Amino acid sequence: MLTKRIIPCLDIKDGRTVKGINFVNLRDAGDPVELARFYADNGADELVFLDISATEENRKTLIKLVHDVAEQVNIPFTVGGGISSISDVEALLKNGADKVSINTSAVKRPDLINELSLAFGNQCIVVAIDAKQVNEKWKVHLMGGKVLTEVDLFEWAKEVERRGAGEILFTSMDHDGTKGGFANEALEKLGRCVNIPIIASGGAGIVEHFTDTFKYGKADAALAASVFHFKEIDITSLKNELRQQGIEVRL
């Protein structure tokens, strides 16, 4: 059985780690370099760095900050935000990223997934999907959740797998920051649609939410931010609890 992964997420705006609720009302959560070092030393399996305003501001990811964070970690490191070309990915990999996450750029130009997968291998390419329920259908949103599309979550997931994505990072905008639990019904359906790993994001509040998303949502990994940033959940304690619940994790 593959081990389940616990992944803290650094949402970056203006060089600082921030966290909001339903993608709005952002508050400061600390220095990303210090947080990265703490997570690498305290049981995180991977780390995700998302420059959340890069696409909206029409600029590239903060390369120097990526480099500084990468120097502090010895775990797989995924970077996203403003990535739209092979050269963007080359720059990030050169500065310490192990994987890249693409979102808006992939929806706008799906061939980008094929190009990046061909150039770097699908193990390097994560497609992030931000979606929320609109008239009881899961619709993909762009630009940090600000732009609604008519793209269906499940059909898009199938397409990104066909085009060469190695992993999907699914964030439920309805659950983001609410601490009410992950979107397990949607996650379980996603898992039946595709054969690549799915990272659950949005809604972590208590240890049981992680247990539930692995058991009922069938997620391969669980990503969270504020519960880790503000020391509400300790990753080592979380993993010990997951082990006791029969969920295989790396200690």
The helix or strand, by DSSP H or E, that contains position 28, with its residue range, turns out to be strand 24-30
- The answer to whether 156 touches 5, Cβ cutoff 8 Å, is no
Closest CA to 147 of 132, 163, 165: 132
Q: Report the alpha-carbon distance of residue 249 to residue 211 in Å, rounded.
A: 11
Q: How many CB atoms lie within 10 A of CB 106?
A: 25
Strands 5-13, 16-21: pairing is antiparallel
Angle at 198 between CA 237 and CA 225, to 5 degrees: 45
Q: Report the alpha-carbon distance of residue 98 to residue 92 in Å, rounded.
A: 8
- The answer to whether 7 touches 182, Cβ cutoff 8 Å, is no
155 vs 78, 150, 160, 189, CA distance in Å?
Answer: 24, 11, 9, 11
Catalytic residue positions, numbered: 11, 130
- Three-state DSSP at 134 gives strand
